[in-house]
A and B are shown apart, each in its own frame.
Chain A
């Protein structure tokens, strides 16, 4: 096995354990109201933190292309919703700005 394969296995173990533990500890148990409420807010907080600031510098040196791609995605999902056109359209919009 190559060194890279060993690294992948190591990465898998440290990635899988945090994914697994909460399921073993929490599921099918009644949680206190406050904790339940806390866990309900995790998706909003996670998505906000995943997008900003990382998205702003996705394509280093091309802030305009990045801005157009992100704006397209934001507007399209606001007006129409759906994942496929938001993603593919945003990539195409970014590409067009990179080309011109």
Chain B
């Protein structure tokens, strides 16, 4: 079945990477603004984006620095917050055909919620020539955006700076909605995940990192159970669309 999939090219990677570059830019600017407001230097801000490269976690880490949280506590929190990438990397690596296995440590560095989602929904066989340009465009959009935000962000109206904070969620919506139009599974599973994560966070007061990881595992398992019998009938449709 997999040999019938279209082979994704370098050009596909560029085409899918440009929206990530542009989508990341204002969000990264918001990070640069926040980072400067917290008293970090430009070098520290750029290091966050180019060395850590982890969207939501950077906002939370800077917030923790601002409130004087200790290094060990920060590292543990961010570990759990980013542990969802373990599941994303597992999902991605199961679908990727590597011609050059030595590139795995390189490609895995750039796994983010967004590049993972774009790759997951790409129509074809995943490989290095597609993933690298797509991921690198996101990486530079994020890094350059935070630098620009740091340097010129304070010129922007304060309310606009505030509004930019919503960008990360807008991007998640932009990634999810087109899939919801394509398959019912996207609607059912994402809505279930939203409900479950709300219960874990708001009622059981689990820390964010934990509740997201537990939600992803439980909902994906539920999906396997619910769609068990449909698997044979729908699989072909999914792979050929």
Q: Do A and B come from one complex?
A: yes
Q: How far is the CA of A24 from the CA of B51 in the complex (A)?
A: 21
User: Interface size for chain A: under 10, 10 to 19, 20 to 34, or 35 or more residues?
Assistant: 35 or more
Chain B residues whose C-beta falls within 8 Å of the C-beta of A48 in the assembled complex: 176, 189-194, 197, 215, 219
Given contacts A52-B194, A83-B20, A87-B26, contact A38 B221 (CB under 8 A): yes
Complex contact B212–A23 (CB within 8 A): no
Contact B163 A46 (CB under 8 A): no
A30 to B219, CA, bound (A): 23
Least Cβ–Cβ distance between B207 and chain A, in angstroms: 13
B-side interface residues, number (CB < 8 Å) = 100
| A contacts with B: majority SS | helix
In the complex, the answer to whether A58 meets B212 with C-beta atoms within 8 Å is: no
| Whole-angstrom CA separation of A95 from B192 in the bound complex | 30
Q: How far is B57's CA from A33's CA once the two chains are assembled, in angstroms? A: 33
Contact B189 A41 (CB under 8 A): yes
- Within the complex, the shortest CB–CB distance from B103 to chain A, in Å, comes to 9
The residues of B that contact A81 with a CB separation of less than 8 Å are: 174, 177-178
A50 with B170: in contact, given A37-B227, A41-B189 (CB under 8 Å)?
no
**A residues within 8 Å of B by Cβ?**
2-12, 14-16, 18-28, 31, 33-55, 58-59, 62, 65-66, 69-70, 73-74, 77-78, 81-84, 86-88, 90-92, 94-95, 98-99
- With A48-B197, A70-B166, A94-B166 known, 12 other A-B pairs at CB within 8 A are A7-B65, A39-B91, A44-B189, A48-B194, A52-B194, A52-B195, A52-B197, A62-B162, A65-B163, A86-B23, A87-B174, A95-B159
